[in-house]
């Protein structure tokens, strides 16, 4: 069955995101966003400008259940809806081969490193956000989609880790599952008065990307697509 994706106009050849270097040493301790403490400012967190890495990992083969104990492989896809300060909107995801996003000047601000269909890649799936100039970003909604397998988030044990430059990683657990929903808004990265803020969402939505768009007011036109 096809799943929604948006068509985006061809962009000029992108420039590369800023290297994830510089800043102070990174602490090994993670900061976990929860319902009680759902937001963190990257500046107040000690992050430097550069590339923010968003990683998604999950259990692709959850324990078998039932009499026949048949294991159903889970294929999760990492992606995001984005809106840049210049008004550019779109989606970055494996569907439709929309692996990168540029602003109107042709600068690449988002890059998805690939599509792990097995869930066995140790590094999971990764989205890179160029924050060398925070003023270029308006908002980015990071999501996970169950592309194949039963819509069982509890067994997937998904976890997203956002690693800024020069600061501890920020962890978001997909730990409030709603069975039957195929897409989950994980976190929103937004520019608030010149400051990049990460907010936990963990919002499970019935439907696919179109339903996510409607829930968060992106206002894009969607068609159906396949990987």
Residue 190, classified by CB atoms within 10 Å of its CB into exposed (0-12), middle (13-18) or buried (19+), is: middle
Measured over all CA atoms, what is the biggest interatomic distance in the chain, rounded to whole angstroms? 57
Residue 96, pLDDT score: 85
Per-residue pLDDT tens for 134-148? 999 999 999 999 877
Residue 73, pLDDT score: 72
When pLDDT is averaged across residues 199-224 and rounded to a whole number, the result is 92
Q: What is the DSSP string of 169-187?
A: -EEEE--S--TT--EEEEE
Average pLDDT, the chain: 82
Which helix (H) or strand (E) segment holds residue 143: the answer is strand 137-148
Whether the pLDDT of residue 121 is over 80: the answer is no
Residue 8, pLDDT score: 39
Whether the pLDDT of residue 21 is over 90: the answer is no
Confidence of residue 17 (pLDDT cuts 50, 70, 90): very low
- Tokens 């492989």 found at: 73
Per-residue pLDDT tens for 100-110? 999 999 999 99
Confidence of residue 222 (pLDDT cuts 50, 70, 90): confident
Of 145, 140, 144, the closest CA to residue 198 belongs to 140
Pick the CATH number of 34-60+73-217 from 3.30.160.40, 1.20.1730.10, 3.30.1360.170, 2.60.60.30: 2.60.60.30
Residue 104, pLDDT score: 97
Residue 95, pLDDT score: 86
Residue 177, pLDDT score: 80
Whether the pLDDT of residue 221 is over 50: the answer is yes
Residue ranges of domains in the chain = 34-60+73-217
Per-residue pLDDT tens for 52-89? 999 999 886 655 555 544 556 778 899 999 999 999 99
Residue 226, pLDDT score: 61
Tokens of 124: 């999971």
Per-residue pLDDT tens for 159-208? 999 999 999 999 999 988 887 899 999 999 999 999 999 999 999 999 88
Say if pTM beats, i.e. exceeds, 0.85.
no
């Amino acid at each position: 069955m096809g799943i929604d994706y948006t068509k985006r106009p061809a962009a000029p050849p992108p420039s590369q995101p800023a290297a994830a270097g510089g800043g102070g040493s990174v602490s090994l301790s993670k900061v976990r966003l929860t319902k009680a403490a759902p937001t963190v400012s990257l500046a107040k967190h000690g992050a430097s400008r550069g590339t923010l890495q968003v990683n998604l990992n999950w259990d692709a083969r959850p324990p078998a259940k039932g009499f026949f104990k048949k294991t159903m492989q889970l294929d999760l896809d990492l992606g995001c809806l984005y809106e840049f300060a210049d008004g550019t909107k779109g989606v970055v995801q494996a569907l439709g081969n929309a692996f990168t996003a540029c602003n109107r000047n042709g600068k690449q601000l988002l890059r998805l490193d690939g599509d792990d269909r097995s869930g066995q890649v140790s590094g999971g799936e990764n989205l890179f956000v160029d924050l060398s100039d925070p003023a270029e970003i308006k908002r980015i909604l990071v999501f996970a989609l169950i592309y194949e397998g039963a819509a069982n988030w509890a067994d997937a044990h998904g976890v997203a880790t956002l690693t800024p430059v020069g600061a501890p990683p920020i962890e978001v657990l997909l730990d409030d599952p709603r069975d039957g929903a195929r897409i989950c808004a994980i976190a929103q990265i937004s520019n608030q008065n010149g400051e990049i803020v990460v907010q936990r969402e963990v919002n499970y939505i019935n439907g696919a990307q179109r339903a996510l768009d409607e829930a968060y007011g992106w206002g894009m036109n969607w068609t159906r697509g396949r990987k």
